[in-house]
Chain A
Amino acid sequence: MSWEIFIKIAHLVGTVLGVGGATFAEVFYLKSLKSGQSETSGDFLKTTYRILRIGMIILIISGFGYLILSRLEGHAERLYSPRLWSKLTVIAILLLGVVAWQAKKIPMWLGSAVSFTSWYAALILGAWRGLNATYLEIMAVYFLLVALIAVVLAFIRKSLGIAHPTKT
């Protein structure tokens, strides 16, 4: 197996764990709120967060594996791609968003929307080869999607009759 295939498989596994984890984190979060538990106490939710962290570590290491390969194989121009820098920015926002949520500096609904949107944005940016857009265009769409997902998640909570948490 070549390094490229190994890195690609690892990157896919990291993405699957992360995107799947982010989706189920939202589902279990809603279930735990509906059943009256504290927002992060459910066993399923804790396990899901653990899977998310493992996915993130695999994703970061394998992602940089790609960058190392590009550098060593003489494809340095790939390192200035707007798609790559948008992805790196989204991952940095995701990481700092989780810290802000843990430190109770942002409300749960926003942390949830940032996490959910960022994981899917990373997936879409990774898969969308040949995307013809500038860094600013991609980031503008990302921020619009964060707002849209926050509204959609709030609507889902409301329709399920779950009290809207303002802070964790």
Chain B
Amino acid sequence: MTSFLQILLIAHIIFGLLGVIAFYAVWMGLLKHKPSPRFLKFSSLWGFIALVLSWFTGGYYYVAYYGTTVKPVIKAGGYPWAHALFMEAKEHVFLLLPFLAAVVALVIWFWSERMETETATPLGSGFQIKRSLVLLSGLITVLGIIITLAGVIISGAVR
């Protein structure tokens, strides 16, 4: 593997982790009694940028190296299901994450300043929006953790 491809693989993993950590922070922040709009804006924007960067670096690595060099090794090795099951699932779920992240970041960016007043009571107009944001940021985090672990399984099968 060339140094450039190694850097891409490392960047894919580190940006992916930072994206998941950022959305975990968003999830936790939204669950607070009084969420901080500034913190939520910063975390969701950074999370979105990190996931997009992980998307492009991982995508380039996949097209330029994984598909032609790593995949045949895994399929011929003792753990072919690491590609057939985990990589196939990972690449499809991973396509979705930056779009989910963009939705959360955009809603937080344009709405979070009004969150406190609109979620003051359970019947407040923003209550459902906040609830949806909690669910979406939780979904991004849980999916992110699952595909991160899938990445470990796939890397472990390269032998």
Binding site for B on A (CB under 8 A): 57, 60-61, 64, 67-68, 71-72, 74, 76-80, 84, 88, 92, 95-96, 98-99, 102-103
B155's contact among A67, A92, A99, A102, by CB below 8 Å, is which? A67
A64's contact among B17, B24, B28, B138, by CB below 8 Å, is which? B17
Q: Which residue of A lies closest to B24 (CB)?
A: A95
B148: min CB distance to chain A, Å: 8
A88's contact among B1, B138, B149, B159, by CB below 8 Å, is which? B149
Indicate whether A61 sits within 8 Å of B17 (C-beta atoms), given known contacts A77-B159, A88-B152, A99-B27: yes
Residue numbers in B under 8 Å from A72 (CB-CB) = 1, 6, 9
Residue numbers in A under 8 Å from B14 (CB-CB) = 61, 64
A92 touching B145, Cβ below 8 Å: yes
Indicate whether A95 sits within 8 Å of B145 (C-beta atoms), given known contacts A60-B21, A61-B17, A64-B13: yes
User: CA separation between A99 and B134, bound complex, in Å?
Assistant: 11
Indicate whether A79 sits within 8 Å of B9 (C-beta atoms), given known contacts A60-B21, A61-B17: no
Q: Can you list 28 A-B contacts with CB-CB less than 8 angstroms, sorted by A residue number? A: A57-B21, A60-B17, A60-B21, A61-B14, A64-B13, A64-B14, A64-B17, A67-B152, A68-B9, A68-B13, A71-B155, A71-B156, A71-B158, A72-B1, A72-B9, A76-B156, A76-B157, A77-B159, A78-B156, A84-B152, A88-B149, A88-B152, A92-B149, A95-B24, A96-B142, A99-B31, A102-B28, A102-B31
A68's contact among B10, B145, B157, B158, by CB below 8 Å, is which? B10
B159 touching A98, Cβ below 8 Å: no
B159 touching A76, Cβ below 8 Å: yes
State the majority secondary structure of interface residues on A: helix
B65: min CB distance to chain A, Å: 13
Top 4 nearest A-B pairs (CB, nearest first) are: A79-B156, A76-B159, A102-B31, A71-B155
Q: Which residue of B lies closest to A89 (CB)?
A: B149
A147: min CB distance to chain B, Å: 25
Check if B32 is an interface residue, CB within 8 A of chain A: yes
Extra A-B contacts (6), CB below 8 Å, given A60-B17, A76-B159: A68-B10, A71-B158, A74-B159, A76-B156, A92-B149, A99-B24
